[in-house]
């Protein structure tokens, strides 16, 4: 039996989620839209475990579902709790995301450092607390956490939208989950040109330029040729690129049809 | 005289902005809310240069101002353009943020790699293009870019909200800004060409090819132009390179002295 495509995509999206990913715990969130956008950001990053502590407008929330833009896998399994203590009860390691410093003596980490800890730490079940939109976490919430996450931003304008803060923490977790990806060119690219093919092009181009007195003086020719070759080699030509360049130069050296001598 | 506190905070927020930060270019954005949230994310990360290409609901937009949550320093100096080409005219290095692969042969970078390039590259004026909410950038937009930024996310649920995509790129730039001192530029190299200079070259080259029936059919022209531009942009042209290319094409289009018609 074939599953419908959309259903299939959702299943795969859920499959990407790692069992080791942190729970995202929204404490007394106010706007359903922000819950939905946070859920979308979680699934973007392969996280599924959303926990809600006393959301202002109750649960379920249709605005949250709409804003989730298809992240139903997260919204559908979100769990509701009365208190932060209940929400973190099964976790071994909890971080509190805050915008402002606290007096408490707890380690303060960037999202990147926290992501590294979440991956390399020995804690099995981890979670990150996010406070209400207007006020952030209060001290009673933060005291339940093992460490604090602060996003290093513009110190004079550091207050992130709730879903944006969730995104950065999830994104760093996701980025840490993937090995440093080397820079790549898209697949399907024509094979790299051989040096011989490239030199054939250079010889042809330089020959055409020779016959047109391109070089102001003979002394300047070697330096100018060297500069041109250096410039063109930055293209890192494929075989297709060499063909294109041959075609361009061939076309340019033909007089335009209908252009008579003397016309310019 | 004491300035009001809110004014003071805004001034400091703007002060954090680095002159080296990229311009954020929203191409045909649909929702004012997203423009505002993107502006807030920019100021969170110390970026000020917001450019709007043909926003659907016009400009200024009160919904954008409300969603900016105080990022007036960004909204207030946002600049409006009719075309992407106009919006990037003064830039030397442009990235296109896309969610899906393109056929074009351009480097594909993660936001982190792009941020490192933005800091260590030789380009003075940089920018990142973001497409409309529903469709993303089209190929004509992407072809103007030097490289593509893809956020490495859940492959089955990779579509980010516009403001979330802007945030990740800005956040990585901000994180990189706090890490490393800039690398020294290679000495003696001519300054990077502006997009305007590069487009002037493209227009001249394509005009010469047009007048010589370079394209086998009119239908093939857009794809061939796109491939040529992509190929030449891999040169990452300096101003000197653009001058050289102008000189080469000008020389090639002149008939060789003493060559008579019919001789080949």
d(CA B144, CA B139): 9
* pLDDT at res. A242: 92
In three-state form (DSSP H/G/I as H, E/B as E, the rest C), the secondary structure along B86-142 is HHCCCCCEEEEECCCCCCCCCCEECHHHHHHHHHHCCCCCEEEEECCCCCCCCHHHH
Q: How many residues does chain B have?
A: 264
Determine phi and psi for B103, rounding to 5 degrees. Answer: -80, -15
Summarize pLDDT for A98-117 with one digit per residue, the tens. 877 666 667 888 999 888 88
Interface touch B44/A157, C-beta < 8 Å: yes
Yes or no: say if B26 and B38 are a contact pair by the CB < 8 Å rule: yes
Taking only the tens of pLDDT, chain A with its 264 residues reads 333 444 444 444 455 555 568 999 999 999 999 999 999 999 999 999 999 999 999 999 999 999 998 899 999 999 999 999 999 988 888 899 987 766 666 788 899 988 888 776 545 688 999 999 988 999 889 888 888 999 988 888 888 899 999 999 999 998 887 743 444 555 556 777 787 888 899 999 999 999 998 988 989 998 888 888 878 887 878 889 999 999 999 999 988 776 554 444
pLDDT of residue B172: 94
| A211–B161 C-beta distance less than 8 A | no
- The whole-model pTM stands at 0.77
- Comparing CA positions, the residue from B98, B157, B40 lying closest to residue A42 is B157
- For A190, which residue in chain B has the nearest alpha carbon? B105
Fold of A4-176: Alpha/beta knot (3.40.1280)
Contact across the interface for B15 and A156, Cβ inside 8 Å: yes
Q: Hey, are the CB atoms on A164 and B160 less than 8 Å from each other?
A: no
Size of chain A, expressed as the number of residues it contains: 264
Shortest distance between the Cα of B237 and any Cα of chain A, in A, equals: 8
Tokens of B36: 């505002």
Residue A185, chain B, CB below 8 Å: the answer is yes
d(CA B244, CA B260): 27
The answer for B 123-142 residues in CB contact with A (under 8 A) is: none
CA angle, corner A29, sides to A123 and B65, nearest 5? 120
Rounded CA gap, B141 and B240, in Å? 25
* Residues linked to residue B52 through DSSP beta bridges, in sequence order: B26, B80
Residue B160 near chain A (CB below 8 Å): yes
Question: Across chain B, where does the E strand assignment appear?
Answer: 23-27, 50-53, 79-81, 93-97, 108-109, 126-130, 147-149
For chain A, where are the alpha helices, taking DSSP H only?
5-16, 32-44, 62-67, 72-75, 84-87, 111-120, 139-142, 162-177, 195-210, 221-233, 239-253
Category of B28 on φ-ψ map: left (φ > 0), alpha (ψ -120 to 50) or beta: left
Question: What pLDDT is stored for residue B189 in this prediction?
Answer: 65
The segments of chain B whose pLDDT lies below 50 read 1-13, 181-187, 260-264
Q: Are the C-beta atoms of A51 and A78 separated by less than 8 Å? A: yes
Helices (H) and strands (E) in chain B, counts: 11, 7
Residue pLDDT, tens place only, B107-166: 899 999 999 887 766 567 899 999 999 899 998 999 999 899 999 888 888 888 999 999
How far is it, in rounded angstroms, from Cα A37 to Cα B161?
8
Kindly list the distances between the CA atom of residue B254 and the CA atoms of A26, A66, B31, B96, B249, in Å, as whole numbers in the listed order: 70, 63, 51, 37, 9
Lookup result for tokens 């989620």: A17
Domain range annotation of chain A: 4-176, 195-253
What b/e string do you get for B230-239 counting C-beta neighbours within 10 Å, with b at 16 or more? bbbbbbbbbb
Which of B153, B174, B249 to probe the A interface (max A CBs under 10 A)? B153
């Amino acid at each position: 039996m074939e599953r419908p495509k959309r259903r299939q995509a959702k299943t795969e999206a859920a499959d990407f989620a790692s069992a080791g990913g942190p729970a995202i715990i929204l404490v007394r969130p106010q706007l359903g839209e922000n819950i939905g956008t946070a859920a979308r950001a979680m699934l973007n990053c392969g996280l599924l475990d959303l926990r809600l502590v006393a959301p202002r407008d109750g649960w379920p929330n249709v605005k949250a579902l709409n804003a989730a833009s298809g992240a139903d896998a997260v919204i559908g399994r979100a769990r509701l709790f009365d208190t932060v203590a209940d929400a973190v009860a099964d976790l071994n390691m909890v971080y509190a995301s805050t915008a402002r410093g606290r007096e408490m003596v707890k380690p303060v980490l960037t999202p990147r450092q926290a992501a590294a800890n979440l991956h390399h730490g020995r804690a099995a079940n981890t979670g990150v607390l996010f406070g209400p939109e207007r006020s952030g976490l209060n001290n009673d919430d933060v005291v339940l956490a093992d460490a604090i996450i602060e996003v290093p931003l513009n110190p004079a304008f550091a207050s992130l939208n709730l879903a944006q803060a969730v995104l950065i923490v999830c994104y760093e977790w996701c980025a840490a989950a993937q090995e440093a990806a080397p820079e790549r060119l898209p697949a399907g690219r024509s094979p790299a040109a051989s040096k011989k093919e490239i030199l054939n092009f250079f010889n042809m181009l330089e020959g055409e330029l020779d016959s047109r007195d391109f070089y102001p003086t003979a002394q300047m020719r070697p330096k100018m040729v060297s500069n041109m070759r250096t410039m063109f080699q930055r293209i890192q030509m494929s075989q297709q690129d060499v063909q294109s360049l041959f075609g361009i130069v061939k076309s340019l050296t033909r007089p335009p049809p209908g252009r008579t001598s003397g016309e310019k």
